[in-house]
Amino acid sequence: MKKLWGGRFEQEADALVERLGESVSFDARLAPWDIRGSIAHARMLGECAIISKRDAKKIIAGLKAIGKDIVSGDFTFDPALEDVHMNIETALTERIGDAGKRLHTGRSRNDQIATDVRMWARDQIDVIDGLLTGLQQAFVTFAESHNEAILPGCTHLQHGQPVLLAHHNLAYVEMFSRDAERFGQLRRRVNVMPLGSAAMAGTPYPIDRKRVARELEFDSVSANSMDAVSDRDFLIEFCANVALTMMHLSRFSEELILWSSPEFGFIEIGDAFTTGSSIMPQKKNPDVAELVRGKTGRVYGDLTALLTLMKGLPLAYNRDLQEDKEPAFDASDTVQLCLAVVARMIPAIAIDADAMARATERGFLEATDLADYLAARGLPFREAHAVVGKLVLHCTKKDLKLPCLSLEDLRRFSPLFNEDVLKIMAPEAIVRARDTIGGTAPRRVRAALSRARKRLFR
C-alpha cells in the first residue's frame, strides 16, 4: 500500500522513503497508551459537542475492540501505514466507517505521540520504582544475614580500614534510594499532558484539556503548545536516571567480579547466576555481573543518542523526534531486566567470612587507629600520622604486622603509647570505635538496617 498524504501530493512515496520513515516496527508497543489517549480524546469531543455523542461512542467502542485484538495478537500492524497512530486510526475507520475519521479532530500526531510517550514513561517509572524497592530489600536481607562479617574497606582498591559487610551493603541501599528519589521527582515532570497542543499552535476547537487530563491521570496540562510537542527533556532525564542506576549496578557488579576471584575469595555466586567455560572445566564465571557491567555502557549510549538528537532541533516538532523512542525503550528494558536479575542474584551469593577476616590482617588496617590514639593523647594529628607512617615502614621492611609489635616496639616510635594501645588494634575494636551517625559500628549499622527495613518492607 503506497501512501498519499491527502490532496497535496500527486506522487506516491518512494519505497525507500517508506522504509526510512516507518516507525511502527518499534512504536507499536505504544498502542495501549495510544488507545487510552484516543478514548479520552474522543469522549471529550463528544461531551464538548465537537463531534456527535453517537460518533464518540462508536469511536470508543471501536478503539476498545482494537485494543483487545492487539493484546490477543489478532491485530496486524502494517509498516506502510508508518506508525502506531495511523495503524490504529485506519483500522478504526475500516471497522466503524466515517465516524473513525472524526477522531483526529482537534489534535495532531505531534501532541498525540508526546502524550503517548509521557504515559509510557510514567508507567515505566512506576515499574522501575518497584524494582528498585525489591533490590534494596534484597540488600537489606543479605546484610541482616551477615551482620557480623568484617572485611577490608578500600580506597583506591587498597586496604583502608575494616568495616562490617552489612555497612558495605547499606552503601548500595543509599545509592538506589537516591535513584528512586530521582525517578519520583522526574515522574512529576513527566505527568504534564501535551494533548490539545495539536501540531504546534493549539486548536480552534473548544476542547476541554483539563477534562482529558483528569481521565488520563495527568497532574496538569502543558502551558505552551510549541514546547509541548517538541519537548523531550523528560526522556533525556529518564535515560539519565537510568544511566545512574546502571552505573550503581555496574559498581556492585565490579565488586562481585573482584570478590569472586581467587585473589579475593570473599564470595561464591550461585550456579544459576554463573556460567562455565567451553574449554576450561574448572571455570565458574561471573557472567551475570559482567553482562550488567557491559549493558551499562549501552545505556550510556542511549542517553548520548537522545542528547545528540535534540541539540540542533529548532522549534517546534521535527521528524528527527521519531528517533527518540528506541533509545528510551532500550534503556527502560535494560534497566528493568538488570534490576530484576541482580535482586534475584543477591540471595544466591555465599560469603567466606573467614577469607574476609584473613584479609583484614593484611594492609595495616590498624594504622589510622594508631594515629588517632596518639592524637587523642595530645600529639598533633599530622605528627601522629608521620609516626605511624614510620611504624608501617618499619613493619614493611621487617615483614611484620602492626598487632605483632610489642609495647616496647611501639614506644621506640613514641612514648605516648601505653598498654591500652594493644586492645584497639583488633578489627572488631576498630569497627566498634566508629560509633558516629553513618559509621560502621555494629549498633549504628543495626539502627540503619532497622530504618531501612521499616522504609522498604511496608
Of 352, 367, 399, the position where a domain reaches its end is 352
Domain check: are 190 and 224 in the same one?
yes
Domain check: are 326 and 414 in the same one?
no
Residue 11, phi-psi category: left (phi > 0), alpha (psi -120 to 50), beta (remainder): beta
Rounded CA separation 111/193 (Å): 9
The SS3 call for residue 405 is coil
Output the domain CATH number for residue 26: 1.10.275.10
Rounded CA separation 196/182 (Å): 28
pTM: 0.94
pLDDT value at position 8?
Answer: 73
Q: Is residue 154 part of a domain?
A: no
Domain check: are 346 and 370 in the same one?
no
What cell does 242 get?
A: 537510568
> Does the annotation mark 156 as catalytic?
yes
Catalytic residue (one of 72, 156, 278, 406): 156
Per-residue pLDDT tens digits of the chain, which is 458 residues long? 445 556 777 777 778 887 888 899 999 999 999 999 999 999 999 999 999 999 999 999 999 999 999 999 999 999 999 999 999 999 999 999 999 999 999 999 999 999 999 999 999 999 999 999 999 999 999 999 999 999 999 999 999 999 999 999 999 999 999 999 999 999 999 999 999 999 999 999 999 999 999 999 999 999 999 999 999 999 999 999 999 999 999 999 999 999 999 999 999 999 999 999 999 999 999 999 999 999 999 999 999 999 999 999 999 999 999 999 999 999 999 999 999 999 999 999 999 999 999 999 999 999 999 999 999 999 999 999 999 999 999 999 999 999 999 999 999 999 999 999 999 999 999 999 999 999 999 999 999 999 999 999 98
Of 352, 386, 413, the position where a domain reaches its end is 352
Q: Is residue 158 part of a domain?
A: no
Peptide bond into 316 cis (omega under 30): yes
What cell does 9 get?
A: 501530493
Catalytic residue (one of 25, 52, 277, 450): 277
Q: 40 lies in which domain range?
A: 15-105
Domain check: are 271 and 373 in the same one?
no
Output the domain CATH number for residue 286: 1.20.200.10
SS (H, E, C) 315-370: CCCCHHHHHHHHHHHHHHHHHHHHHHHHHHHHHHEEECHHHHHHHCCCCCCCHHHH
Q: Is residue 2 part of a domain?
A: no
